[in-house]
Amino acid sequence: MKGHIGEFEELVLLTIAVLGEQAYGVAVLEDIQERANRKISIGALHSTITRLEEKGFITSYMGEPTQERGGRRKRYFHLTASAKQALADMKSLRNELWNLSNLELSSQ
Amino acid sequence: MKNQGQKTQQPPQLATRLFFWMAGSAAVEDLYGDMEEIYFSNVDKYGKSKANRMFWKQVLSLVFSYALKSRKANAAHSYRASSISPALLYNFFKVSMRTLIRHRSFSIINILGLSLGMSICLLSITMYYSIQQFDLFHINKDRIYTVNTLVINNQVNDKFATTAPYVHDNLKSYTNQIEEVVAINDGFSGEVKINQNTLPVSGLYVPPAFLKIFTFPLMAGNESTALQEPFSIILTEKAALRLFGHTNVIGDAIELENKGTFQVTGIMKDYPGASHLQFESLVSYSTLDAIEPGLNKRFEDYRFYTNSYTYLLLQKGSTPEQLKIPLEQIAQELSNPDETLELNLQPVTNIAAGENINYSIGPSFDRLTMAFFILLTLIILAPACFNYANLSMARALKRSKEIGMRKVVGGGRRDIFIQFIFETFIITSIALFGAIYIFTIIREEYLAMIIGAEMLDLSINLPVMVAFVGFAVFTSLLAGVIPATYFSKMRAISSLRGGGKAGVLFKSKLRNGLTVFQFCLSTFFIFGAIAMISQYYHSMNYDKGFDEKGKVIIPLHNIEPEIIAHEYSNFPEVSEIAFSSGIPGTHSNNEVWVQTYQVEDSVAVHQMFVDNSFLELMGFKLIRGHSFIENLNQDNEIQIIVNKTFAQSMALAENEIIDKTFRLPHGLTARVIGVIDDFNHLPVMKQIQPFFFRYDPSKFSFATLKVDTQNVFETATKFEQKWEALNDLIPYEFTFLEDKLNAIYDQLKNPIKMFGFLSFLAVSIACLGLLGMVVFTMENKVKEIGIRKVMGASVPQLTRHLSQGFLKLMLLALVITIPLAYAVYEFMLQRIIFYNKTIGLVEILSSILILSLLGSITVFSQTIKSAKLNPVDNLRYE
């Protein structure tokens, strides 16, 4: 079931998009922590990523072993086309709503 | 999986282990990498302790996360995690079999050790099972209950199997859930006088309903009326044979001293199965009133009724819970201000196996006995398993290449683990057959040894067999888990390179301790066996104070002594015939209370009725006085010939006691006419008691014939023909006195067999363990031995050097155990046998010799082999 994207899922997807080739677990985690200023446990992040992968929004591949992390490989994430589509839908929905509520919100 | 360059700082080990353990077969390399990365950045930011805390948090958050769950689920469908394929199992089997066949000696040693260790356990299992089978043969078994009394006074709880007679008399009036209530009183016992013999008989007083509740079918007699009348008695088949010599005795009378004459109204088949109710006769309950009227009036004192039991049969469809209230009511009736009583029901099927209750009927195989057995089992089995583990691991060098190969090809730890467990299981299965074989051998001996064991049915049937197989699986896990774990952890590279070290189960101190312990145990048992053997021969050859050679004993069975004397004296082989009421040197309960000379006190004196020729025949020497005057009227004064101990117990010198008179029960007076030397009128286990001979032909029950033992068989046949002409109802018996006496000491054979078997077990297992240790050490020292040889050590020198340590261990075991065993057995022997032989140097030396011999063979067989190795082969690869 292709579905609806939750708020945190959207955040994760966007962050992966921002990080591009360097999107792996810790990078995503730290990026979200800095930008959104919220604490996330590694478990929560990986659970979300797993769910996104199962929904078909993300693909992942293992990187090459390097000197860092004691030779342990990283898992890199990529957005799929359907993720981009879903994000775009989300954005347009938001824009529409923003435009409609423009009067209310801009006064503050 | 070490983090290079970060050696000084590692995430908490335990958390890491927990994480990988929880992850199982899932791929988590990237997750762990993430965590580690975060950890090290945290260490830089916050310091180690906070980083550790945070790491723990991360681990916990991951362990229970959906991410891991989902990865595990995916991993579970990969080929690696799927169940082991038949092909792989077949391969395991093939490799295991090849290994077993290639290392034949090792396999045989292991199988032997495990068989021995398991055989005792099988005995425990069957014993346990057979105890559970008690009383299952009653048709109404699910509805039969017994009532137990719990007495509470001053916070002390005492459980009794007995109840006050009030309970069984009135229980039915309190409730209608009960079909039948029976009272059982196990106080029936007495001396039966059949013809001239007095034979002890015991049994239960039971009402007619007893045969309705329990399933004890009668061979002869009417079940509903057999126990109706007072003074009626039902005998078991065995008891009838013992008393009468045949079972055709319905309607016969039995006369009991001080109780009256009983009518035999039924013959019961011997037990259809094992029961906690053990009896040889059932006497009608109405007899009890006739013998002791007014007994039931004093029901307040439940303690008075140590012999009174209540059994009941519930109505069909009733439950024991429904009896709770009526039993409480009765208990309240019986309670008094000092003590509160409680009455509880106990199902008949768990009486034998249940807890030990005061005054319980029949033999109880309580938990203590079982616990002792289980302990013995473990003492034997655990070393056997340790030895197996040690031996297998000592062979690690030989197998490391195989394991390395398996690992390189892709075998996981689990596969190798399973393979080794599998191998152990094959060995254990073979050992199980060996164990069953040994078990069938020791079973008979064991049953003969244990009192009350004749009720135990130790045959192997389906449930027992299932338990055996389950036990074999358990043993293979117990023995195999350590080597399997060890091998599965082997590193592929190092094992292929040949750098594998022989494995070892414990730190060397602990292992040495284990070896010493096993040898201590062996020494202890061997010593016991030897001490008992020498004791046995000592008892048989002990000078008992009379001449037992060449005498034949024939029980008279109610045939007049004159007839026997007349008929048998015609035989040319028979030189003398004498008569007696008992057999000297055997157990006897024929005692009489004699009032002492000065004081108002009595002494229990053993007595035997004999004639003069018996004294002569047996070689009893009169020290003083004369022998019996055979046709003297003894109505008011009987003649007695006393032994020295009698004189001592009366505080009289031997010359003073002649012509003294003593008072016996029933107004008899006894005059001492002679004194004889002390002789062992009882078996040598017992002390010589005050004793006298009396003369009374009506009490004779044995004929003793002095026989020329040239043609024993011919003589025996002739005697038998003669006997059949005299009495065709009772089978003829012909025993030599020597054999009769020696048969008494058969009971000493039991400890010999037990210690013998235990020492056999302990020694075999100890030697196997030692062998494992020696082999392991030799494998580890191959290079050292090579170098020593190159440097010029000779084979004898090397052998000595290699064996020293092990021989020291054995010496230590001997030094520890010999004094201890000596003290224990000396103490024990003095308890068991009054005229015992003190343990001498011979016994000590022979046990030391046996042990040293076995141990040395074990050690030298391996060390000499190692010392003879060609150093070139072992040093070539350095």
Per-residue pLDDT of B551-602, as tens digits, reads 888 887 767 788 888 777 777 778 888 888 888 888 776 777 787 766 567 7
Tens of pLDDT along B246-279? 778 888 888 876 677 888 888 888 776 677 787 8
Nearest-by-CA chain B residue for A74: B30
Across the interface, whether the CB atoms of B71 and A50 are under 8 A apart is answered yes
pLDDT tens per residue, range B618-676? 888 888 888 888 777 777 788 888 888 888 888 788 788 888 888 887 778 888 888 88
Between A33-47, B340-354, B414-428, B486-500, the lowest mean confidence (pLDDT) is in B486-500
B6 at A interface, C-beta within 8 A: yes
What is the model's pLDDT at position B2? Answer: 40
Min mean pLDDT across B319-333, B361-375, B468-482, B735-749 is at: B361-375
Range scoring the smallest mean pLDDT among B129-143, B419-433, B500-514: B500-514
Interatomic CA distance for residues B248 and B190, integer angstroms: 22
pLDDT of residue A100: 84
Least confident of B318-332, B491-505, B542-556: B491-505
Backbone angles phi, psi at B560, to 5 degrees: -60, 135
Segment B319-327 mean pLDDT = 81
Contacts of A100 (CB under 8 A, 6+ apart): none
Q: What is the pLDDT of residues B166-208, one digit of tens each?
A: 777 777 777 778 888 888 887 777 777 776 666 778 888 888 8
Confidence of residue B728 (pLDDT cuts 50, 70, 90): low
Per-residue CA distances from A75 to A23, A25, B28, B30, B151 (Å): 8, 7, 10, 6, 74
> If DSSP codes are grouped into helix, strand and coil, which group holds residue B672?
strand
For the cut 80, the answer to whether the pLDDT of residue B354 exceeds it is no
Residue of A nearest to B68 (CA): A47
Task: Using DSSP bridges, classify how beta strands B232-236 and B260-268 pair: parallel, antiparallel or unpaired.
Answer: parallel
Report whether pLDDT(B227) > 80: yes
Determine the average pLDDT of the residues in B386-396: 76
Minimal CA separation from A86 to chain B, in Å: 22
Average of per-residue pLDDT across B496-509: 59
Long-range contact set of residues B437-443: C-beta below 8 Å, sequence gap at least 24: B437/B115, B438/B115, B438/B116, B438/B119, B439/B119, B439/B122, B439/B123, B439/B126, B442/B119, B442/B120, B442/B123, B442/B757, B443/B123, B443/B126
Q: Has residue B89 got a pLDDT over 70? A: yes
Given a cut of 80, whether residue B299 has pLDDT beyond it is no
Q: Give the per-residue pLDDT at B1.
A: 40
Rounded Cα distance between B265 and B251, Å, is 6
- C-alpha B641/C-alpha B678 separation (Å) is 12
DSSP H or E run through B186: strand B178-194
- Distance from B476 to chain A by nearest Cα, in Å? 39
Could you give the CA distance from residue B485 to residue B417 in angstroms, rounded to a whole number?
A: 6
Q: How far apart are CA B258 and CA B191, in angstroms?
A: 9
The pLDDT, as a whole number, for residue B396 is 67
Residue A14's pLDDT band, with cuts at 50, 70 and 90, is very high
CA distances from B75 to B17, B19, B27, B62, B79 (A): 19, 16, 7, 17, 9
Cβ of B34 and A41 within 8 Å?
A: no
Lowest-confidence region among B15-19, B379-383, B595-599, B742-746:
B595-599
H helix and E strand count, chain B: 28, 22
Whether residue A66 lies within 8 A of chain B, CB to CB, comes out as: no
Residue B473 pairs in a beta bridge with none
Query: In chain A, whose CA is at the least distance from the CA of B71?
Result: A50
Give the tens place of pLDDT for each residue, B99-112. 888 877 778 878 88
Cβ contacts of B64 on chain A, cutoff 8 Å: 43
**What confidence score (pLDDT) does residue B633 get?**
74
Q: Which of A12, A26, A46 to mutate to test the interface with B (most CBs of B within 10 A)?
A: A46
Of B858, B824, B730, which Cα lies nearest the Cα of B246? Answer: B730
Read off φ and ψ for residue B284, nearest 5 degrees. -60, 140
Flag whether pLDDT at B539 surpasses 50.
yes
| Stretch B690-712: mean pLDDT | 82
Distance from CA of B22 to the nearest CA of A (A): 14
What pLDDT, on the 0 to 100 scale, is given for residue B3?
42
The pLDDT mean for chain B works out to 79
pLDDT number for residue B173: 79
Which stretch of B444-453, B794-803, B828-837 has the lowest confidence by average pLDDT?
A: B444-453
CA pair distance B770, B779, nearest whole angstrom = 14
pLDDT surpassing 80 at residue B410: no
| B59: closest chain A residue by CA | A43
Inter-chain residue contact B30 with A51, CB threshold 8 Å: no
Give the predicted TM-score (pTM) of the model: 0.61
**Which residue from B25, B49, B30, B26 is spatially nearest to B39, judged by alpha carbons?**
B49
Name the packing angle between helices B508-541 and B795-832 (round to 10°).
50
Cα separation, B136 vs B275, in Å, equals 8
What confidence score (pLDDT) does residue B4 get? 43
- pLDDT number for residue A16: 92
Does residue A71 sit at the B interface (CB-CB below 8 Å)? Answer: yes
Distance CA(B642)–CA(B673), nearest Å, equals: 8
Q: Given CB atoms, is B16 within the 8 Å cutoff of chain A?
A: no
Judge whether A7 is closer than 8 Å to chain B, CB to CB: no
